Structure 1
Amino acid sequence: MIDFIWLALGAFILLAYTLEAITGFGSIVIALSLGALLLPIEQLLPVLVPLNICMTGYMTLRYRKLIDRGLLFGMILPGMAAGTLIGYFLLPWLDANLAKQLFGVFVLLFASRELWRMRHSAVARPRPLWVNRLITLAAGVTHGLFASGGPLLVHALAGTNLDKSRFRATLISVWFSMNSLLTVAFLLDGRLLPALPQVLSYAPLLLVGVWLGERLHKRVDEKHFRIAIYLLLLTTGALLSFPR
């Protein structure tokens, strides 16, 4: 049973990192959503977060010329860093089952909103800068809690004029920065070293995920791919939010 759980997590990781290579976000949301059906969130994070910095570090270096540095350093990183630290220090105060349910509700709302937006072809409108800064701070808090700030950060960046390649490169650089911060925190609190065997065993899946994602990024209909992922997240979020 234990072997099946870790094999299933490997499949979730491959799916998740393929998606991130395509779109620039979503790896930990997907892997954590599916993995939380089998394992506690606090056991998954020290495995998934270091894996993420391996992939995003490579892609940040490769696509560094596409990063919007003004947006990254001017708006995103200050709010994300502050929020991530807040979320990290809040997590130990949350009951494990409550944390899983809160994460499930978060995923459920995110997937529902994205499916509604795609169904109605809603066009995001630019918001005042202070509103985007607040949303970015909230994204940081969810990142500190669940390493899953992507949904809110993408919402904060809606309406920007970045093409999909620059958008992806900028987001990937954010996850590299924030997950490096979390990995250092896991090292200091003693959670990283026990998780290293799992991190190393799953590392080859990153190569496969990046290879698949790079090709799918150019060839597949991203809209259809996202619909399938959001439906999967919708189901998973419901299972986490309303456990039997």
Structure 2
Amino acid sequence: MIVDPWIWVGAFILLAYTVEAITGFGSLIIALSLGALLLPLSQLIPVMIALNVLMSGYMAWRNRRHIHWPTLLKLILPLMLAGTLAGYLMRPWLGDQLLKAAFGILVLWFSTRELWRMYHKHTVHPHPPMLSRVLTFGAGITHGLFASGGALLVYAMAGTPLNKSHLRATLLSTWFSLNTCLCVIFLLDGTLIPSLPRVVSFMPLLVIGALLGEFLHHRLNEHRFRVFLYSLLVISGTLLLGKALVDM
């Protein structure tokens, strides 16, 4: 490529954190699904995780009064931590192309499900407790594999009695906790230190994205914006899966 792919990744990070500020979700899955079209996930994940620790830590601190500690400490974190460790240990066995294909399938599942739900105005019903636990553990595995456990965890928490503020603050605390643990693992396996210069260079984009998203939050039709966003993810997931299958 004529243009350094990391320049494009910077643009994707700006888009991802602008979207996060507008809608309250999606920074990792957007940045990774677009960035993985250009670079291996193994290069992207340490950078994205470190950036997310900064953003989720700040947001979790701001919303700390709304954290529902019983749900966080007794349900989410034990299962997510176990699943994240299992997913991390599975990564070397899968290889980058299979990992990329699996991530493409996850992105497609998430985006098409959300489009279907919006189109049909689907009402969310609570899952049985055991199914919620299984899905939460599965979310941990996907987080350990490709740092994107949010889609499955939100699905696992469907119908939860927590109100919107409590759920958001609890999930932010989850990402901060899990991604801090992953940063420690990346430090130990030697992948974090080489990524730090890029993390530092991309940090201003978090601030710009947050400010831009805050500016746009009340000026965009959120429903139409979400349709556009999920459609973009459908295209991205399809391209990612197709590229991975061709390269295998």
TM-score range, shorter chain: over 0.9
The residue type equivalent to 2:240 in the other structure is: L
Moved more, 72-81 or 195-204: 72-81
> Post-superposition shift, 1:70?
2.1
> Post-superposition shift, 1:217?
4.8
Contact 1:24 1:167 in 2 (8 A): no
Match of 1:195 in 2: 195
* Counterpart Cα distance in 2 of 1:67 and 1:209: 25
2:37 aligned with 1:40: no
Contact 1:50 1:199 in 2 (8 A): yes
- Structure 2: gaps spanning 5 or more residues: none
> Post-superposition shift, 1:155?
0.3
Match of 1:30 in 2: 30
Contact 1:83 1:138 in 2 (8 A): yes
Within a 5 Å distance, the mapping from 1:133-152 to structure 2 comes to: 133-152=133-152
Contact 1:52 1:176 in 2 (8 A): yes
Within a 5 Å distance, the mapping from 1:1-244 to structure 2 comes to: 1=1, 3-217=3-217, 220-243=220-243, 244=246
SS in 1 for 2:229: helix
- Structure 1: gaps spanning 5 or more residues: none
State the identity %.
57
> Post-superposition shift, 1:229?
1.3
Q: Deviations over 1:131-173 (max 9, x none)?
A: 1010000000000000000100010111124443333222111
* Counterpart Cα distance in 2 of 1:222 and 1:166: 21
SS in 2 for 1:185: helix
Moved more, 158-167 or 4-13: 158-167
SS in 2 for 1:159: coil
* Counterpart Cα distance in 2 of 1:13 and 1:106: 19
Moved more, 13-22 or 127-136: 13-22
Residues 231/8 of structure 1: CA separation in 2 closer, same or farther (3 Å cut): same
> Post-superposition shift, 1:216?
4.5
Q: Deviations over 1:192-220 (max 9, x none)?
A: 01111100000011111222334555564
TM-score by length of 2: 0.93
Residues 29/136 of structure 1: CA separation in 2 closer, same or farther (3 Å cut): same
* Counterpart Cα distance in 2 of 1:91 and 1:69: 31
> Post-superposition shift, 1:189?
0.0
Give me the CA root mean square deviation. Answer: 1.6
Residues 171/2 of structure 1: CA separation in 2 closer, same or farther (3 Å cut): farther
SS in 1 for 2:4: helix
Contact 1:25 1:168 in 2 (8 A): no
Residues 184/221 of structure 1: CA separation in 2 closer, same or farther (3 Å cut): same
Contact 1:23 1:168 in 2 (8 A): no
* Counterpart Cα distance in 2 of 1:62 and 1:43: 30
Contact 1:25 1:172 in 2 (8 A): no
> Post-superposition shift, 1:4?
3.4
The residue type equivalent to 2:186 in the other structure is: F
* Counterpart Cα distance in 2 of 1:61 and 1:218: 24
Moved more, 45-54 or 73-82: 73-82
Q: Deviations over 1:97-147 (max 9, x none)?
A: 111111101111111111101110111111111110100000000000000
